[in-house]
Homo-oligomer: A and B are copies of this chain.
Amino acid sequence: MIIVLKPGAPSETVDELLASIADKGLKPLHLPGAERVVLGALGDERVLAQLQLESHPMIESVKPVLAPYKLVGRELHPQDSIVSIGPLAIGGGEFAVIAGPCSVETPEQMLASGRAAKEAGAGALRAGAFKPRTSPYEFRGHGAEGLRILRSVGDELGLPVVTEVMDAADVELVAESADALQIGARNMQNYTLLSAVGRIRKPVLLKRGMSARLDELLLAAEYLLAGGNDQVILVERGIRTFETATRNTLDLNAIPYIKQRSHLPVLVDPSHGTGVRDLVIPMALAAAACGADGLLVEVHVNPAVALSDGPQSLYPDQFAELMRRLRPVAEAVGRSVA
């Protein structure tokens, strides 16, 4: 329920109303705005009828939240959210670029790849220590040792780091090492993991599942916010279709669709989104043009020998070219590259 107060409603009224909402077993929300205060009440809205809010002298209007994603939607939270990963602010006027290799392989590979990312202008570093793999016989990442390497390279380069967490039991471990956690596409509806990550207070990148409808992505994010973690960044990373020319079909339609309905920032991952190195730069430019808040890009110092995702990783000079071509497009839509 959205409760709009009249201009000049005193703060005691606000407190009384929040208390009576909580009294009825609903979750109260306080949303002060420039001109008037808005309150929210989440839960079984029928019990609110007993409060007879419509006839309250300081209440201007009462209306239901229509979207199924109450906290993620713009109805209760119209203005854009900005989520910060260290010094990198995502969701505001700057266009953020998070780059790095698919996996942490060795300290040398990680440092060289991270340095290439930083020199070209990346604002944060990404790499996987825990890797979800279709076959049990493939390289599954270096785990805790990989986290240590990533952290140390991030510190050396002065870049915040982002990495995937696959297991609820690892959430604390990963949260200690990384500046932001990533929930991968295969785990978008792993509700155990969503609940565990909802309990921490670190930024989360939530990737869209391979066959998730957009409303399902927004509801998965709702799990995180309902759990208490509102530092959520959504990531479009391609969906599964009949097309075989690309590994996935990067669905940029998702960007304006989500931005119109949700206050959360949205990144685009053109590396997984296409699975084809030659398509990464043009799709990155398109992402900036249609309103994404940034990119998640795979860069490897030598993709030809990468342990995973080599065919979609950019070479350092390609990443530098991406950054160079990105700046004028971001400016054309009113943003600067962070």
A283: Cβ under 8 A from any B Cβ: yes
* A256 interface residue (CB < 8 Å to B): yes
A interface, how many residues as a size bin?
Answer: 35 or more
Least Cβ–Cβ distance between A282 and chain B, in angstroms: 4
* Sample of 14 more A-B contacts, CB < 8 Å, known A186-B189, A215-B245: A140-B191, A166-B192, A168-B168, A169-B169, A169-B192, A242-B242, A243-B251, A252-B252, A253-B279, A253-B283, A255-B282, A256-B279, A285-B289, A329-B329
Task: Tell me the bound Cα distance from A153 to B245 in angstroms.
Answer: 41
Q: Report how many copies the assembly holds.
A: 4
Q: Which residues of the other chain, B, contact A216 by a CB distance below 8 angstroms?
A: 134
- Any B CB within 8 A of the CB of A161: no
Query: CB-CB < 8 A to A239: which residues of B?
Result: 241-243, 249
Instruction: Say yes or no: is A139 at the interface (Cβ < 8 Å to chain B).
Output: no
Residues of B within 8 A of A291 (CB): 282
Q: How far is the CB of A317 from chain B (nearest CB, A)?
A: 18
Which positions 3-22 of chain A face chain B at CB distance < 8 Å? none
CB distance from A95 to the nearest CB of B (A): 13
Taking a contact as CB atoms closer than 8 A, the residue among B215, B245, B290 that contacts A283 in the complex is B290
Q: Which of B136, B252, B278 contacts A226 (CB 8 A)?
A: B136
| A170–chain B nearest beta-carbon distance, Å | 8
Are B256's CB and A278's CB within 8 A? yes
Report the bound CA distance from A223 to B19 in whole Å: 51
A307 interface residue (CB < 8 Å to B): no
